[in-house]
Amino acid sequence: MHPSKPIVGRLAPSPTGGLHLGHARTFVIAWLAARSGGGRLVLRIEDIDASRVRPGMVEAAMADLRWLGLNWDEGPDVGGPARPYLQSERLSLYQAALDRLKQQELVFPCTCTRAEISRMASAPHVADGEPVYPGACRDRSAAEAELLQLSGRSFAWRFRVPPGKVAWSDLVQGDLELEPAQAGGDFLVGRSSGEPAYQLAVVVDDAAMGVTQVIRGDDLVSSTPRQLLLYKALGFVPPQFGHIPLVHDSQGWRLAKRDQAIKLSSLREAKVDPRRLVGWLAVSCGWSENPQPCWPADWLGRCQPLSGLPVAPWILSHDVLTDLGLNAEHGRS
């Protein structure tokens, strides 16, 4: 970890749809966690899933973040020593990291389809809705990928997960430990087409960009032990992680990018004062009892962003939606 190094946080939106109120809360907390410690912010666009990237979403994400009153020291629009800041332009770095893992025989080519894995995996062993990989191809060596390519067979690269628990001190949730072998098993790090998987790309990028603090939603807790294994395998120093509860609607569903009525772009277009939203976010984090209009920067030196955060999801109440001019029955499209 980086306990003594200057804080470098990051904002890493994915341009697969517009940002919503849940993203706003996470990014405001991440921004304050870095800035309150005198730290720097990196903006990185996670656009490696080309099939899901939507035109104009990169620019829209940056406009949403600026509308919230957030800024950054490095990013696609301002440059920086770790450029480029779009993952789609960093593919050679991911390939180099994958090659290092191949040389250590820490990855193997897997020809199993998702349907085959679902059939092979027993029903109780499911992690985050995904079946636990049963290890059908894990005895293959990295070199066997050449034979698969010659035969025209498609495959994915999986990281060979060792047995045992992985522990870390979470900045929000305290001491945590998970056993990745029992929570998903050998995980994807790349495809034969050259496209990297999320777990490998974020580790390579955070290390290259000097990120020392990662604040994100608690839906990614299960990713942390996998990423810590990759940090160790690649010889990188991992950042400190903090996982915050998500935002749910009144029906208990977590917010998703398909929820058009709660998009930040909708609020921007409706000329809503962003300080009203930030005021409600401050209430949701326990920094304030009343939703007074404010900017994130107004809380610098006035709160400890990661201390005392509620452990339960923030439920969007009728009062919040009404104050922001949203339909209280916005539902789910």
Residues 6+ apart with CB under 8 A from 214: 9, 10, 206, 239, 240, 241, 242
Decide: helix, strand or coil at residue 253.
coil
Residue linked to tokens 């939106």: 13
In a domain, 161, yes or no: no
Mean pLDDT of 210-230: 97
Please check whether residue 309 is in contact with residue 244, taking contact to mean a CB–CB distance below 8 angstroms: yes
pLDDT digits (tens, 9 = 90+) for 141-192: 999 999 999 999 999 999 999 999 999 999 999 999 999 998 899 999 998 7
Residue linked to tokens 């000329």: 271
The two three-digit tokens of residue 130, written as one number: 């995904």
In a domain, 109, yes or no: no
232 belongs to the catalytic site: no
CA distances from 26 to 135, 143, 284, 298 (A): 35, 42, 11, 17
Dist. CA 145–CA 319, nearest whole Å: 57
Domain membership of residue 49 as a residue range: 1-89+245-333
In a domain, 219, yes or no: no
Choose, from 165, 232, 257, 271, the residue flagged as catalytic.
257
Dist. CA 263–CA 64, nearest whole Å: 9
In a domain, 224, yes or no: no
Cβ burial 287-310 (10 Å sphere, 16+ → b, else e): bbeebeebebebbeeebebbeebe
Report DSSP letters for 231-251, one per residue.
HHHHTPPP-EEEEE--EE-TT
CA angle 147, 152, 157 (to 5 degrees): 65
pLDDT digits (tens, 9 = 90+) for 74-86: 999 999 999 999 9
Number of domains present in the structure of the chain: 1
* pLDDT bracket for residue 52 (50, 70, 90): confident
Name the residue type at position 178: L
C-alpha radius of gyration, the chain, whole number: 21
Please check whether residue 101 is in contact with residue 234, taking contact to mean a CB–CB distance below 8 angstroms: yes
Identify which has the larger pLDDT, 55 or 10: 10
In a domain, 97, yes or no: no
Residue 329: predicted pLDDT: 46
pLDDT digits (tens, 9 = 90+) for 261-297: 589 998 999 999 999 999 999 999 999 999 999 999 9
Q: Phi/psi of residue 27, each to 5°?
A: -70, -35
Calculate the average pLDDT of the chain.
91
In a domain, 308, yes or no: yes
Bond into 109 cis (ω within 30)? no
pTM of the full predicted structure? 0.93
In a domain, 156, yes or no: no
Residue 332: predicted pLDDT: 37
**pLDDT-above-70 percentage for the chain:** 92
Is the four-CA dihedral 231, 30, 24, 252 of positive or negative sign?
A: positive
Decide: helix, strand or coil at residue 54.
coil
In a domain, 30, yes or no: yes
Of 52, 62, 79, 101, the C-alpha closest to 203 is 101
Q: Phi/psi of residue 133, each to 5°?
A: -65, 125
Find the CATH number of the domain harbouring 62.
Answer: 3.40.50.620
Whether pLDDT at 50 is above 70: yes
